[in-house]
Structure 1
């Protein structure tokens, strides 16, 4: 294709020159448009490939191994086969495996069952003299027992008074399900397996059958329903405590819900609201199951709440901020989402511009790591000294780079996303208690999103709400370092006779916070 400058070397009349010039300009516009389209498609293809086949890590140094788990399994099998053929290779194989694995000591809190292995004889095989103990060689192996079923037999002797002709017996212990055969431990196992390990009830039925125990799905479904109702007051109380904070994370994930009569599913949503780790108080996660993704659901949940709300760029939240401007609901933007735009761009075409953006944003996170264990006042000072200058330099660079970037491409979109939300993105650095991104709530949602591959859909809106309530309790327990199954078992034992005025003491919160609530009451 001839360029406009090359037309001067051709002997063309004015009309022909004008037509050729118009054709060249049109062709150049078409080429530019095609280049932008190719860039966008390349970026989209790389994004889809990464999500389908690659690791989800956004680390610049990550080198995804698509079959890492299978590779490790195959390597172990190959080593075992080599050892069968050549026993002398066992030591070298074990040594290389240990050096890679970096075996960790087994947890101290686990019970130990000791097995002492004494020699067959306490006399020396050479001279016959008695052997003297000089030490012990101790090695440990981790073991596990599958679900073990057993029966609690409650015996209530009955005593009679011959004079008064009355019969006396101890009262029947109250339970979540009156007259039911399920003890609190079994109810905890069913709920934990279903909502924490994402095992459908038919799989629990099969597990019990292998132990020659009959647990029908319909019976377990009834247990789940009744347990959900009994636990709902705890969820309501956790929600109240969450809304006392002035900073929240919010996010949502789609959930398929069965549509009765049509044999299909429709899309519902599990909304998540999480407390802020940079503020004092317990860590709480609340799941709210709703039939759609409309912003009115967030508005309804946060109806009387005021503070900073950290969200992604979903438009449903925009109406909430617009309507509550006078009520001090302030938007915080997520740097992880801004960074992701440049990461996808860099993955697609190794963009040097995207690489520099990632490095500059990485500097912000380095400062956050430095201030992780500081007090709020100390973190605010650190951000004023380091984060704000970094952000100012980043903004200048973004503006200059955008001025030199053509519209319509992936580079322009990544730059525009960050510049458009700049006011909400930098708000965190002006304080010592606001978070830099929305990763805390996304990390809590992720296991549930993975679990959807097992349970596929919820059977009804009520089932979704019940799942959200129980996930709230489990999620909060895990955030506070509690064993969810043990906490639930203990709570199901206490709940039938527990006074409502002391309900805070049953919440899955740290002991020090429970103690503080007890003193306040």
Structure 2
């Protein structure tokens, strides 16, 4: 018997007035209808609470991205920009105070811990002798007892000069022949520029991210006046000359068993439509824990399709560290093993904690911090020592964190920001903790992100690639320069030497020209 029939039966036992009975039955029916709405209202309230929390989190994140100056919202370069402005302002205020109170004793400068100037920089000595070598008191000759030596760093701006090559011609009257020193091969035969100028232009464009019109202005300001069309001609020819080095760099990269991969969008000019379109610079890097020298390779592609990564990594087998982009998924299971980035998982909890100081997010950050501390401790270990350290210290913490994530997720409302952060980690957990089973697998994808960062900053200057060919040329040259930087090799000096030796270097000795550590160039 339902509640309405039961209530009617009980009410009839009291034999109430018909009007009262009808009113009571109406009230009871209304209350039943209201009670039936309670579960639906509870569900709506729960949904609204989750939506409010999600929106609050998103709003706090956007505010932090806009106004926060000391969070992951800003890159290291941006944070240093704020810091250097503050330092400059403090120095300016100190100087103004000294001007206003010239008689006041100048505050003694605090020790700055400044490093000594590099010993390999050229030195120009200036000897400063007293006005007289006789004592100003008694007139006797002074005797040197020591020297006070101080050093100042100076710079000479771009200085254009001319190499004048004179080759005397000698004739043999008997043979009626003429002999002169041969003209050595060059990247551009009979060209206006020496290898040093070619290297400088490439570095200005691809490392310092200056468009050619600015390089043209710099040359004009220093009295050389190199036209933009000439600069463009040099860039095109140098790109072709350097391509064999890039091809060999790619071959060496694919010999490694562990790689990082990532991609960043760039704009490419679309002449047919009079505007730009989105292209992508795909980046690949060797593992920092490998014994070999680091290698960085960029590849320009017109889109973000995963087919580009599959084509580049054709026949390659090993461990690949990537983010959660779906384009990489087709690679796995065919001889390529996925490694997931712990830094990406951490970022989800960091954003949540930065938005509202979420205690569960703080707990997750503490657990991840312990894992990174273990990596820092084992940084200089051998592969075997690092593997043992990870097995004994990292693996138990990873297993404990996985159990904690599963338990916490059961208590967390679906759709909440915390649920999304936990789901991201749980979804990729086998790939996240895979590094702990070895001593040579990376914990995150930060090395490739660090390699991409200069590109992300530089493209604000050059704005877009003028064509697909220009994008591929930029990617090739950037590969060489990024590899040089990763190997602590000064790019300008390396490129100048390479452009000098490349025309006469044999193919079987091209490895000697690559910007890799522990090499000697003897072409």
Q: If the length of structure 2 is used for normalisation, what is the TM-score?
A: 0.90
The answer on 1:262 being equivalent to 2:291 is: no
Matches within 5 A, 1:133-212: 133-212=144-223
Change (3 A) 1:129 1:20: farther
Cα deviation digits, residues 124-164 of structure 1 (max 9, x gap) = 44444444433333222211111111111111111111111
| Structure 2: stretches of 5+ with no match in the other structure | 1-23
Q: C-alpha distance in 2, partners of 1:421/1:476?
A: 30
Asked if 2 retains the 8 angstrom alpha-carbon contact of 1:312 and 1:334, the reply is yes
Aligned mate of 1:42, from 56, 64, 82:
56
Q: What is aligned with 2:11?
A: none
Asked if 2 retains the 8 angstrom alpha-carbon contact of 1:205 and 1:217, the reply is yes
Asked if 2 retains the 8 angstrom alpha-carbon contact of 1:307 and 1:330, the reply is yes
The answer on 1:18 being equivalent to 2:32 is: yes
Q: What is aligned with 1:443?
A: 450
Q: What is aligned with 1:459?
A: 466
Instruction: Figure out how many residues of one structure are paired with residues of the other and give that number.
Output: 494
Asked if 1 retains the 8 angstrom alpha-carbon contact of 2:54 and 2:417, the reply is yes
Q: C-alpha distance in 2, partners of 1:299/1:206?
A: 43
Cα deviation digits, residues 57-84 of structure 1 (max 9, x gap) = 549xx9x799433222221111111111
Asked if 2 retains the 8 angstrom alpha-carbon contact of 1:82 and 1:89, the reply is no
Q: Runs in 1 of length 4+ with deviation above 6 angstroms?
A: none
The answer on 1:508 being equivalent to 2:515 is: yes
Q: What is aligned with 1:498?
A: 505
Matches within 5 A, 1:418-433: 418-433=425-440
Asked if 2 retains the 8 angstrom alpha-carbon contact of 1:252 and 1:272, the reply is yes
Change (3 A) 1:124 1:19: farther
Q: C-alpha distance in 2, partners of 1:152/1:376?
A: 51
Asked if 2 retains the 8 angstrom alpha-carbon contact of 1:252 and 1:270, the reply is yes
Change (3 A) 1:288 1:52: farther
Cα deviation digits, residues 237-293 of structure 1 (max 9, x gap) = 010000001110000000000000322100000000100111221210010100000
Asked if 2 retains the 8 angstrom alpha-carbon contact of 1:46 and 1:344, the reply is no
Q: C-alpha distance in 2, partners of 1:142/1:462?
A: 41
Q: Secondary structure at the match of 1:34?
A: helix
Greater mean deviation of Cα atoms: 221-230 or 495-504:
495-504
Change (3 A) 1:20 1:125: farther
Q: C-alpha distance in 2, partners of 1:150/1:365?
A: 51
Deviation at 1:311, TM superposition (A): 0.1
Q: C-alpha distance in 1, partners of 2:512/2:159?
A: 30
Asked if 1 retains the 8 angstrom alpha-carbon contact of 2:64 and 2:355, the reply is no
Asked if 2 retains the 8 angstrom alpha-carbon contact of 1:200 and 1:454, the reply is yes
Q: What is aligned with 1:7?
A: none
Greater mean deviation of Cα atoms: 40-49 or 388-397:
40-49
Asked if 1 retains the 8 angstrom alpha-carbon contact of 2:348 and 2:421, the reply is yes
Cα deviation digits, residues 396-426 of structure 1 (max 9, x gap) = 1111111100000110000000001011001
The answer on 1:72 being equivalent to 2:83 is: no
Question: Could you say which structure has the larger radius of gyration?
Answer: 2
Q: C-alpha distance in 2, partners of 1:256/1:420?
A: 32
Q: C-alpha distance in 2, partners of 1:105/1:21?
A: 81
Q: C-alpha distance in 1, partners of 2:70/2:441?
A: 26
Q: C-alpha distance in 2, partners of 1:104/1:90?
A: 27
